[in-house]
Chains A and B, each alone.
Chain A
């Protein structure tokens, strides 16, 4: 098991190196001289030259990359050109809201998706199942930004049930915080629920026809016990993959939702930094998101061993 984990982590290295190269090149692929972009068009050639020297932009590109990578690996993400604050501090400060939003969205997704899938399978020979498929397809197809604006219009403007925007840290006021997070989390969840519920339903429909389900029925268990214990547990295994990529995908989804609801999270930080051409922050945030994505997928692979005893990594 330990060997597997080590192997998996080693195999992540190429992925991370490729991501780092792309992130590094952002600064060079955007048109214009980075120093000019940072200092503005009116800057004197001397100050531009000085900044280039300071940022190492006059070095060969490979040397620049290796220097940059060395810093990244040691946890030095550099400083914001805009506020001179260390990038790591900025990410850490914005992590709380994003993390709360993601966890809330994930919980909402599971709360909606699991009962939906169970009911769809339980009533599989009725009209409910096709209705379920249509609804989940609709959920997958609706873009988050559109749904966000629509829901704000309905539930914050027309019927002022929820706040239009804003964020209250959960540590300061838990219920108030949840109240502010509900709409954004629901929007993130709505998009993911369709996929998770559909995956779960398909997995359950497959498990329903397996012989072990027949055995469970032959034991005299009620249909609800059969579905909730035997069928659901087996369907959760393939669904875990989807939930894993979903968690990673939520990271990207938060960028849009945080902007719409002005939640001071990682996504908002990224968008603000893009507007400010604050390259060190952009690079740091993207690299951070990529690392989280890769780690979540690793965790999902390891979770399999807990869910399915037949899978052993040794």
Chain B
């Protein structure tokens, strides 16, 4: 349904060209959920906003690539054609539901506006539709909610309203950019449950962007791991969690704190900082932080290669070497005061 081919989204900044999204290719089918995981600054939000071109432009520009959506290249559409797609065929919800709602308009007005953006109907009809949308996202007093201002609602309610706005046009694709990051854990679970329920009801495809591996493990059919503007590993949740084939993914998984940790254990982190995307390192972008790096990693950028069915990873290490290096490192660390808490702690 949506196919992204060799997409590049660069930012023209004072420090030079920042390659926020660098030659990305992926696709999503009807009713499918894909998760895009990466740490802050890996380009995942820029990627999400590129899909319906919400990035401010300038400074963001697209030197290469195409975004095929039902036979059209979204990058080639006019602003007017894009307006017909946004909110109608492709919707988006954002990280912080408080700042994502206009603080000075009532919920009703913002929702009615979304409904009427793509459907010719009277205000009254739109209000009826808005009420049913609010009920659909599990708001118990929709009339009262319509009359409220955003600051009068709780975080979870606001995100439900955002989802109602996003669903108002019955989109074929919903892009959720860190939809649960600003919410507390119990609300997170409710929102994720809501997304799954609505997906099965409407058959919407979902792209969920997060740095929370637990979220994608629950929801996503396929996971893309992003690092410094590139996909470094792609596969099913099982591939990513149990057949990890890229050192970055492996480090990311190891960084999840486990409940088995005791007070004397230290949390595992990935040393160093994500690379400066205005002047990325030579060769593999992860090379400076990689525990298994060898001089060879510096020579050329690794390409995504097929490892299993639908499982791709960008690393020059072959499976056997990677496995033995992992074991070596874990053994070494458990010899110290650290315990290994890799894949075992993450369950789907």
| A interface with B by C-beta (< 8 Å) | 125, 209-212, 214-223, 229-230, 233-234, 237, 307-310
Closest to B53 in A: A217
Q: Which residue of A lies closest to B165 (CB)?
A: A219
Q: Which of B49, B102, B114 contacts A212 (CB 8 A)?
A: B102
Q: Could you tell me if B92 and A218 are in contact, using CB atoms closer than 8 angstroms?
A: yes
Are B79 and A209 in touch, CB under 8 angstroms?
no
Q: A63 → chain B, closest Cβ, in Å?
A: 53
Contacting A at CB under 8 A, from B276-317, are none
| Closest Cβ–Cβ distance, residue B175 to chain A (whole Å) | 9
B-side contacts of A211, CB under 8 Å: 94, 96, 99-100
Interchain residue pairs with CB less than 8 A apart (20): A211-B96, A214-B49, A214-B54, A215-B100, A215-B162, A218-B86, A218-B92, A219-B87, A219-B113, A219-B114, A219-B165, A220-B88, A221-B87, A221-B113, A221-B117, A223-B79, A233-B104, A237-B104, A308-B104, A309-B104
Q: Is B83 an interface residue (CB 8 A)?
A: yes
Nearest CB of B to A225, in Å: 8
Which residues of A sit under 8 angstroms from B151, Cβ to Cβ?
309-310
A221 surroundings in chain B (CB, below 8 A): 83, 87, 113, 117
Name the A residues within 8 Å of B168 (CB-CB): 219
How many residues of B are counted as interface, with CB atoms below 8 angstroms from the partner's CB atoms? 36
Q: Check A218 against B99 for contact (C-beta < 8 Å).
A: no
B250 at the binding interface (Cβ < 8 Å) = no
Please pick, from B54, B84, B105, the residue contacting A218 in the complex, using a CB distance under 8 A: B54
Q: Which residue of A lies closest to B90 (CB)?
A: A218
Give CA–CA (A217, B96) in the complex, Å.
16
- Bound-state CA distance A307–B88 (Å) is 30
A214 to B85, CA, bound (A): 15
> How far apart sit A210 and B54, CA to CA, in the bound complex (Å)?
12
Q: Which of A219, A237, A309 contacts B86 (CB 8 A)?
A: A219
For the complex, what is the distance from the CA of A58 to the CA of B106, rounded to whole Å?
A: 65
A230 touches B86 (CB 8 A): no
Given contacts A214-B94, A221-B83, contact A307 B100 (CB under 8 A): no
**When chains A and B are docked, how far (Å) is the Cα of A308 from the Cα of B104?**
6
Pick from B52, B86, B102 the residue with the most CB of A within 10 Å.
Answer: B102
Tell me the interface secondary structure of chain A in the complex: helix
A209–B56 CB distance below 8 A: yes
Chain B neighbourhood of A212, CB < 8 A:
99-103
Q: Which of A209, A217, A222, A308 contacts B103 (CB 8 A)?
A: A308
Residues of chain B contacted by A125 (CB below 8 angstroms): 58
- Most interface-central of A220, A230, A234, A309 (chain B CB within 10 A): A220
B83 and A222 within 8 A (CB):
yes
B94 touches A220 (CB 8 A): no
Instruction: Please tell me if B129 contacts chain A, counting CB pairs below 8 Å.
Output: no
Which residues of the partner chain B approach A214 to less than 8 Å between Cβ atoms?
Answer: 49, 54, 94, 100
- Cβ-closest 4 pairs across A and B: A220-B87, A220-B86, A219-B87, A211-B99
Other-chain residue from A218, A222, A307, A309 in contact with B80 (beta carbon distance below 8 A)? A222
- Which residues of A are found within 8 Å of B85, using beta-carbon distances? 220
Q: Which residues of B contact A217 (CB under 8 A)?
A: 54, 86
Instruction: Determine the residue in chain B with the shortest Cβ distance to A207.
Output: B102
Q: How distant is B204 from chain A, measured CB to nearest CB, in Å? A: 15
Inter-chain contacts of A308 with B (CB < 8 A): 103-104
- Give B67-98 as 1s and 0s: 1 = Cβ < 8 Å from A's Cβ atoms: 00000000000011001111110011010100
> Which residues in A have their C-beta under 8 angstroms from that of B165?
215, 219
Residue with the greatest number of chain A CB neighbours at <10 A, chosen from B79, B88, B113: B113
- Asked if residues A234 and B102 are in contact (CB atoms below 8 Å), the reply is yes
Contact B118 A220 (CB under 8 A): yes
Neighbouring A residues of B162 by C-beta, 8 Å: 215
Min C-beta distance of B12 to chain A, whole Å: 11
Contact status A309-B103, CB under 8 Å? yes
Name the A residues within 8 Å of B88 (CB-CB).
220
**Contact between B103 and A310 (Cβ–Cβ < 8 Å)?**
yes
Does B62 reach chain A (CB closer than 8 Å)?
A: no
CB of B152 to closest CB in A, whole Å = 8
Among A210, A220, A230, the residue within 8 A (CB) of B83 is: A220
Q: A218-B86, A220-B84 are in contact. Are A210 and B99 (CB under 8 A)?
A: yes
User: Does B149 touch A at the CB level, under 8 Å?
Assistant: yes
Nearest B residue to A214 via CB reads B54
A105 and B168 CA atoms in complex are apart in Å by 44
Instruction: Give Cα A263–Cα B91 distance, bound, in whole angstroms.
Output: 59
Residues of B within 8 A of A220 (CB): 83-88, 117-118, 169
List B contacts of A210 (CB < 8 A): 99
A215, A219, A308, most chain B CB atoms within 10 A: A219
Q: Say how far B107's CB is from chain A's closest CB, in angstroms.
A: 11
Given A223-B79, A308-B103, A310-B104, 12 extra CB contacts under 8 A: A210-B99, A212-B100, A217-B86, A219-B113, A219-B168, A220-B169, A221-B87, A230-B102, A230-B105, A233-B102, A233-B104, A234-B102
